[in-house]
Amino acid sequence: MTHRILLVNGPNLNLLGVRDPGVYGTETLADVERIATEAAAEAGFELRSIQSNHEGVLIDAIHAAREDCDGIVINPGGLTHTSVALRDALTGVNLPFAEIHISDVNAREEFRRFSYLHDVAAVRVIGQGVNGYASAIAQLTALIP
- Residue list for the binding site for substrate: 75, 81, 88, 102-103, 112
| Phi, psi torsion values for 70, nearest 5 degrees | -105, -10
Q: What is the dihedral of CA 17, 121, 115, 127, to 10 degrees?
A: -40
Annotated binding site: 75, 81, 88, 102-103, 112
Among candidates 95, 99, 87, which has minimal Cα distance to 70? 95
Helices vs. strands in the chain: H and E counts, helices first: 5, 5
Active site residue 116: no
CA distance linking residue 31 with residue 67, whole number of Å:
27
Residue in 63, 101, 116, 133 annotated catalytic? 101
Active site (catalytic) residues: 24, 101
